[in-house]
Amino acid sequence: MIITLFSFFVAFASVMLFRPIAIGVGLVDRPCSRKRHQGEVPLVGGLAIYTSIVLSSFLFVEFDNVYKMYMLSTAFLVLIGALDDYHDIEPNIRLIAQVLIGSLMVFGADVQLTNLGNLIGTGDIQLGVLAPIVTLMAVIGAINAFNMTDGVDGLVGTLGIHTFISIGVLAYLGNIEFSSELPAMFIGALIAFLFFNFGRFKRGRYKVFMGDAGSMLLGLTVIWMLAVCTQGESRFVDPTTALWLIAVPLMDMVSVMIRRIMSGLSPLRASRDHLHHILLFKGLSARWTTIFIGVISVIASLLGIIMQESQVPESTRLISFLSVFIAYNFFMCRQDKQMHNHVQ
């Protein structure tokens, strides 16, 4: 509780400190064809969250090699994200940077996905020499999944809070002694950010966005924690359960990329084809869009947790997840087509 409160106040103070600086140097998000917000909004939420995590870490966390590598990799990622916020970086360059940052996790901290679980009922599937490649793909996927989800006020912050809480719930149900300092820090910092992002402070006059720095930081942290929680003898989250904990950003990213490739477009091309865009097109307000997606995400996590605690076979859980994704992708294809026909 103390960690969460400290992180909250540091993030809150950091937003107040960074906001006028961002306006002065032009680190702001301007409205365009893809961004329908009003006025120029400072992109300092991610920087404030990271500042809170760094200061809180020095006070409350005992640094080992893994945590040192985490802090180093997040420092580079936040720097790349901030540069991207200030001056759009080419997608290919951003991708290369993500691979290098992911390599710090895989080779520097030796945090890897080596075990996919008992997916076909014949025992755990060990990745062996493929572990580094699969882990790098997971890191890049998670970073971009959370980055792509950041399109409506409060959405990515809400998804982040719910994911950290879900990991904590699984640790509690499994009676596992889990280092909860990092989730506690993020929950406090994200709550502080949401005060500004939702426009609840000073009637919206101090509104800020998270920016790529924040959403990519969140994505890397989530996949790092899931890799730690799903691997090794002390694991308490099954790999298939991890899919359900990040079901919404993961399914949305993969579906968007499939539809873009099918349309002959680059999967990294930015456009208005995400779930939150579809819901806004259907008439939901930004706030109700966040609430709706947040509820779906909570339901998905509950399903994953219930199936794990009920010891449903991992193969059944994987088939269930893929079935939900196929249905989701079919729905999104239809809605995406309707939206484009309407625009034309």
Does 212 count as an annotated binding residue? yes
Per-residue pLDDT band for 341 (boundaries 50, 70, 90) equals low
Q: Give tens-digit pLDDT for 175-205.
A: 777 777 899 999 999 999 999 998 766 666 7
Per-residue pLDDT band for 343 (boundaries 50, 70, 90) equals low
Mean model confidence pLDDT for the chain:
89
Q: Rounded to a whole number, what is the largest CA-CA distance in the chain?
A: 60
User: Mean of the pLDDT values across residues 327-341?
Assistant: 81
Per-residue pLDDT band for 1 (boundaries 50, 70, 90) equals confident
Give the SS3 label for residue 90: coil
Q: Are 170 and 305 in contact (CB under 8 A)?
A: yes
Q: Is the pLDDT of residue 344 over 70?
A: no
pLDDT score at 55:
96
Task: Quickly list DSSP for 93-109.
Answer: HHHHHHHHHHHIIIIIS
Position 10: which residue type? Answer: V
Give the SS3 label for residue 270: coil
Helices (H), 198-313: 211-230, 239-245, 247-262, 275-281, 286-309
Identify which of 39-48, 169-178, 264-273 has the greatest average pLDDT: 39-48
pLDDT score at 34:
53
Q: Are 246 and 114 in contact (CB under 8 A)?
A: no
pLDDT score at 32:
55
Answer with the residue of higher pLDDT: 34 or 174. Answer: 174
Q: Tell me, what DSSP letter sits at residue 117?
A: -
Lowest-confidence segment of 88-102, 137-151, 325-339 by average pLDDT: 325-339
pLDDT score at 35:
54
Position 8: which residue type? Answer: F
Q: Is the pLDDT of residue 128 over 60?
A: yes
Q: Give tens-digit pLDDT for 191-249.
A: 999 999 987 666 667 899 999 999 999 999 999 999 999 998 888 999 999 999 999 99
Query: Within 10 Å of residue 102's Cβ, how many Cβ atoms?
Result: 24
Domains in the chain, number: 1
Q: Which domain holds residue 170?
A: 2-343
Q: What is the dihedral of CA 66, 70, 72, 73, to 10 degrees?
A: 130
